[in-house]
Amino acid sequence: MVAGEASGDLLAAMLLGGLKTRWPQLQAFGVGGPKMDAQGFSSWWPHDKLAVRGYVEVLRHYREIVEIRKQLGFRLLLEKPDVFIGIDAPDFNLELEARLKRSGVKTIHFISPAIWAWRPQRMQRIARAVDLTLCVFPFEPALYAEHGVAATYVGHPLADVIPLKVPRDASRDALGLSGEDTVVALLPGSRRTEIDAIAPRLFGAADVMRRQRPNLRFVLSVAPGMREPIERLAGASAVTLLDGGSHEALAACDVALVASGTATLEAALFKRPMVIAYNMHWLSWQMTQRKRLQPWVGLPNILLREFVVPELLQDEATPERLARAALEWLDDPERVQAVARRFTQLHLELRRNTAQAATDAIEKVLAG
pLDDT of residue 271: 98
Distance CA 68, CA 350 (A): 34
31 and 59, same domain (yes or no): yes
What total of structural domains would you count in the chain?
Answer: 2
339 and 197 in a common domain: yes
Name residues whose C-beta falls within 8 Å of residue 251's C-beta, 6 or more positions apart in sequence: 166, 167, 168, 170, 171, 270
Residues 63 and 74 in one domain: yes
Q: Do 192 and 145 belong together in one domain?
A: no
Q: Are the CB atoms for 115 and 84 separated by under 8 Å?
A: no
Determine the residue type at 221. S
Say if 160 falls within a structural domain: no
Range of the domain at 32: 2-155+352-367
Claim to verify: residue 103 and residue 205 sit in the same structural domain: no
User: How confident is the model at residue 117, as a pLDDT?
Assistant: 56
- Residue 126 is part of a domain; what is its CATH number? 3.40.50.2000
- Whether 273 contacts 335, CB under 8 Å: yes
Question: How many angstroms separate the CA atoms of 79 and 66, rounded?
Answer: 20
Query: What is the number of alpha carbons within 13 Å of residue 91 lying toward its C-beta?
Result: 14
Mark the ranges of the chain whose per-residue pLDDT is less than 70: 51-61, 116-120, 280-294
Same structural domain, 194 and 149: no
Task: Give the pLDDT of residue 120.
Answer: 67
Question: 295 and 182 share a domain?
Answer: yes
User: Is 104 a member of any domain?
Assistant: yes
120/197 same-domain check:
no
Half-sphere exposure of 271 (CA within 13 A, CB side): 19
State the pLDDT at residue 146: 87
Q: Is residue 163 part of a domain?
A: no
pLDDT at 224: 82
